[in-house]
A and B are shown apart, each in its own frame.
Chain A
């Protein structure tokens, strides 16, 4: 089952919410969530539900063995043994179902052998829940948390349907307390629904629409050589991935909030990045921090063998994304860009600071090559696309609109996607800073993306903005009365809610509209 389906929105979710809020206590609520999550997963993968439970059971058993050993003052070696076994089981499940055929086909092509492929179907979400359960086991082993004694709570955490199939990767520590004690208020439910609607719109209206452009251009063996078309497809794919992923994250965070969970943000306006590092601090943050905390830092991080550590992390990140050589190449490319950046920073030691606009353009230009590498699994197609992105081949307007007839309707959405990817609040704040405007001092913390600041959908402020605390005076608006501010705020919020209903309507229309299949021949 997917969030962007009629079944989920109109049947599954309302039933689960009803059962959840009727439940008299937290244990029953957790049972409701666990049951619902299993049903959610079974809807798409009736057989592989067992795999997910095995994964949860594996980490439950070994984490409790570690805890019991530790409580008894047992040896660290035994701890390590249990931990390693737990990791082996987790990685084996992931390895067999996701990477076995990739390994076999690689061996076949390198050695000229003819080993049969296993052809196992890929269980949905296995990369996400495996990393989730591993993070739990690692945290228990590293003594960052204690083992969860209740299998119900641990299974609820592992299978929790809001983030089960597409993340964000929720660390156990993030929700540990809430598994045992949580409550959701009406405001939480309202916030969650608003966030869900926003995420749904991102996924259905923007991501899926961008997918039409990608499908039309990236047709294997028939790639166009028109430079502008290839750049259009690269951006479209970037937007597709971003809005698909961040839309899902919004829906997950919103649903989590409804049930009383507070998941961390997963995206923070990545297209506002001013450097490679900045981009990866904004994009798929839950995965980035996972690799940072569990691979990069244990290897030595920035302290020793930085470039080697980067290489390991990014190759693994590429492999995590998919069982194909293009993903590994993608990881290598990302790592290389980061390594070059770190090298240049070390070399110039902040003596050279490019203008903001140039920093962003360079970052975006270099990052855009990531997306054809990610999208095109055939190496010849990939090379063709990348080469022709750099070597100009003209396409006239008339040729474009005749050739790409079926995707013309997507272009207004492309513009909307590009505009919505910008954090306009950040742009305004930068302008104010440049003008030396006097504003109140605020603590520089990231405001979660999509947080419903009244009247400003999807706003966010990056962490590195610090306002000028020494500026004199205040702007005009601070002279208004509190009542006027409140009224304005209410009106903005009400208008925002109307906007969300409209987005919801458009999203449902789009989902139902995808079922429009006119039949050519008259048969009844």
Chain B
């Protein structure tokens, strides 16, 4: 027994020594592609930070991120949870006789804004994520119109204020046409009750009729949903992106404007694990990743007024991009959400466009911009942090000579606190800064 005791103590000591030395000998990791975030680094100790408890908190966070085999351990834990979830689902659904969720009521009203059945059944995958059995899409039950609608009402009020302000600032000389393209998506489907209610898009349509044009994409059935949205992500795939581009151009120019011939190119070695897949730490299921291409005239890109390159589309097409599965290919390829982007196609005979959008527009900004002279793309959520000043739509319209304003976003975008159109509309703590 003494030998066993000695062996136990020695092995335990060896493990401790290995972990500590391994952690501090290897270079600190700054980024985790798997978690899509920057990692915590070991903090410098100061007396003040220790007394305030900050140093201890940062140290513990850094240890979890920097410990040797950290990514593997996190992946192992996520796998274990995944497998345990699948096991319990298999057991419970067997006991339940695998009954499918019942269909919702079918409406006789064939209006595009009438509720539609969304007949699907769901497999729980943990962390609040469900898999649509029929298509394999991972979704979150985020349908909550009771919370969203009042916020939408407030945001539309803010938008109209900004529109009026733009008119008054330019003494009526600068007049922009406004377009709203609301993209129905996961938040518009009442997955629990198998219904696409179209409540938010109906509300916008009813309350924004006086805009130049309003269109939307209807999440009307599970087949279409599965066809247009990535299985593991909340974004639209190349088919959905093409649909959005074509709908937006038709909306702004009518049928006469020639559309670009978008051709998808499959990036062979890229396996895309999107936000939903990452939430449950499942890197065993992925989407194929295709990029729409088209012949475009030369153009310049500016990021927050500085020349730059938004996204790595070229690198993905020529095979020089990082194609590891841990990389978030949607973000890497189409670019991060930035405060202010400018696409300058030097087509001075054409109008200028302002796009106010979320990440749904990133794959198609350059396609849309090719129909304009200068196209400014603003993500209100990041404008202040990146530009150092509050977003003011009226100032941008006047300053940049904007002819058309296009809003492109999905359900969650407008409900955020940091989406506002004028500095005076910013939440109190932001206004005070």
Contacts and interface: CB of A to CB of B under 8 A. Distances in A.
Interface of A: 1, 5-7, 9-11, 14, 43-44, 46-47, 186-187, 189-191, 193-194, 396-398, 400-402, 405-406, 408-413, 489-490, 493-494, 497, 500-501, 504, 508-524
A289 to B, nearest CB: 31
Contacts of B186: none
Nearest to B329: A522
A405 B125 contact: yes
Contacts of B9: 186, 189-190, 193
A510 B77 contact: yes
A46 B57 CA distance: 13
B4 A513 contact: no
B35 interface: yes
Contacts of B15: 504
A9 B15 CA distance: 11
A391 B131 CA distance: 34
A274 B252 CA distance: 78
B34 interface: yes
B334 to A, nearest CB: 9
B122 A402 contact: yes
B184 interface: no
Interface in B31-71: 31, 34-38, 50-51, 53, 56, 59-61, 63-65, 67, 70
Interface residues of B, number: 73
A492 to B, nearest CB: 10
A186 B9 CA distance: 8
Interface in B51-109: 51, 53, 56, 59-61, 63-65, 67, 70, 73-74, 76-78, 80-82, 84-85, 87-89, 92-93, 95-96, 99, 101
Nearest to B125: A405
Contacts of A500: 8
Contacts of B336: 521-524
Contact of B8 (A412, A497, A523): A497
Contacts of B73: 508-509, 512-513
B359 A512 contact: no
Contacts of A501: 11
B384 interface: no
Given A10-B20, A512-B67, A520-B275, A398 B96 contact: yes
A44 B57 CA distance: 9
A518 B8 contact: no
19 contacts: A5-B63, A6-B63, A189-B9, A402-B101, A402-B124, A405-B126, A405-B129, A405-B130, A408-B92, A409-B80, A409-B84, A410-B84, A497-B8, A515-B61, A515-B74, A516-B78, A517-B35, A519-B35, A522-B332
B127 interface: yes
B56 A44 contact: yes
A6 B128 CA distance: 28
Interface of B: 1-2, 4-9, 11-13, 15-16, 19-20, 23, 31, 34-38, 50-51, 53, 56, 59-61, 63-65, 67, 70, 73-74, 76-78, 80-82, 84-85, 87-89, 92-93, 95-96, 99, 101, 122, 124-130, 192, 275, 278-279, 281, 328, 330-332, 336-337, 359
Given A405-B126, A514-B77, A515-B61, 5 more contacts: A186-B5, A190-B5, A512-B70, A515-B65, A524-B336
Contacts of A6: 60, 63-64, 67
Contacts of A194: 8
A515 B332 contact: no
Contact of A513 (B12, B77, B92, B96): B77
Contact of B88 (A190, A191, A412): A412
Nearest to A512: B73
A187 B332 contact: no
A509 B72 CA distance: 9
B76 A513 contact: yes
B77 A516 contact: yes
A493 B4 contact: yes
A493 B1 CA distance: 8
A218 B330 CA distance: 38
Contact of B337 (A1, A402, A516, A523): A523
Given A189-B9, A518-B35, A406 B126 contact: yes
Contacts of B4: 190, 490, 493-494, 497
Nearest to B124: A405
B89 A408 contact: yes
B67 A43 contact: no
A44 B53 CA distance: 7
A36 B138 CA distance: 49
Contacts of B93: 397-398, 401
Contacts of B38: 524
Contacts of A411: 84, 88
B128 A406 contact: yes
Contacts of A190: 4-6, 8-9
Contacts of B122: 402
Closest 10 CB pairs of A and B: A522-B331, A513-B77, A515-B64, A190-B5, A397-B96, A409-B84, A405-B124, A519-B37, A512-B73, A518-B278
A397 B1 contact: no
Residue among A401, A409, A410, A509 with most chain B CB within 10 A: A409
Contacts of B11: 501
B76 A408 contact: no
B1 A490 contact: yes
A520 B359 CA distance: 11
Contacts of A401: 88-89, 92-93, 124
A406 B125 CA distance: 8
Contact of B84 (A47, A405, A412): A412
A458 B31 CA distance: 41
Given A497-B4, A515-B61, A408 B88 contact: yes
A400 B92 contact: yes
Contacts of A11: 20
A406 to B, nearest CB: 5
Contacts of B101: 398, 402
A504 B384 CA distance: 47
B95 A397 contact: yes
A469 B85 CA distance: 50
B50 A409 contact: no
B366 to A, nearest CB: 17
Contact of B128 (A7, A44, A405): A405
Contacts of A508: 73
A511 B64 contact: yes
Nearest to A13: B16
A402 B129 CA distance: 10
A518 B128 contact: no
B87 A412 contact: yes
A43 B36 CA distance: 30
Contact of B19 (A7, A10, A44, A490): A10
A413 B81 CA distance: 11
Contacts of B2: 186-187
Nearest to A192: B9
A135 B16 CA distance: 37
B19 A513 contact: no
A514 B65 CA distance: 10
Contacts of B77: 509-510, 512-514, 516
Given A406-B128, A412-B84, A187 B34 contact: no
